[in-house]
Amino acid sequence: MDNNTEKNMGSTTKKRYFILGRPAVPLLQSLTFIYFCVYFLYTPLYFTHATKFPEKDEIHYSEGLFTFRPLDRHRYQMGLITPAKTEFFSCVSSYTGSNTCEVNRIYSKQIDEELGNKGKFSKQDTTPILYKRWQGKSARITWFTQRYNIFSTDRRIVQVIIDGKEVLSNKRVIDSINFAKGKLMLITCLVLSSPLMFFSAIMLKRIILNRDPFSGEKNTKN
């Protein structure tokens, strides 16, 4: 068996699986890469910039007793205990954003003074202490349904009133939405995503033309 025959057999063996006439492995690699870019980068960016403060008919109101739960060591999620169930709500501004509810500073400052905390070098996180003081008190949470991705939505907090006092205002939510969709974020994301856009185009060419995007050679079954 000569070298040419061995090369042809080896090539045929490597490319024995095909999808729509394309070698299966590079086709699936290309589709996976494109899906990753579209789902985890471009569509979240689009929905972040498409988000706006809700109209009156898009706003919902939930009432119950205030509660919360930890998401990790430094983040906590607000919720309500109702006769039917316990519900939790989101403060996330974008798909990759942090679930941090920016309550009015007057409340956290009071605890900072009690604990002797000073700025970013605070000895103790005030959030769980503050939330524990609100635990079980009557509360109303105003929210709307925000879409973060094609298949991802959550109930985004607009306003929180506890024991008759507003502890999270809709102005803070408006500022958060505007900040997330600001020009700086858009420019930064586009600059960072440019290499991914380039490789996505290469992969798409590979699928459509059934060619090696770097050598320009067409893949064949033989």
Q: Which CATH number is 56-180 given?
A: 2.40.50
Look up tokens 């586009």; give the residue.
Answer: 190
Angle at 83 between CA 80 and CA 88, to 5 degrees: 25
Q: Mean pLDDT over all residues of the chain?
A: 77
Lowest mean pLDDT among 115-124, 125-134, 157-166, 200-209: 115-124
Strand 138-149 versus strand 60-70 pairing type = antiparallel
Average pLDDT over residues 127-145: 94
Nearest to 167 by CA among 115, 94, 91: 91
For 124, the token pair is: 């103790």
Q: What is the pLDDT of residues 22-70, one digit of tens each?
A: 666 777 777 787 777 777 777 887 888 788 889 999 999 999 999 999 9
Average pLDDT over residues 96-102: 75
Q: What is the pLDDT of residue 15?
A: 45
Percent of the chain scoring above 70 in pLDDT: 66
- Where do the structural domains in the chain lie, given as residue ranges? 3-50+185-209, 56-180
Q: What is the pLDDT of residues 173-195, one digit of tens each?
A: 888 888 777 654 665 666 656 66
Q: Helix or strand or coil: residue 89?
A: coil
Lowest mean pLDDT among 42-46, 49-53, 144-148, 215-219: 215-219
**What letter represents residue 69's amino acid?**
R
Strand 18-19 versus strand 60-70 pairing type = unpaired
- Is the pLDDT confidence value at 12 over 70? no
Distance, in Å, from the CA atom of 164 to the CA atom of 48, rounded to the nearest integer, reads: 32
- Is the pLDDT confidence value at 16 over 90? no
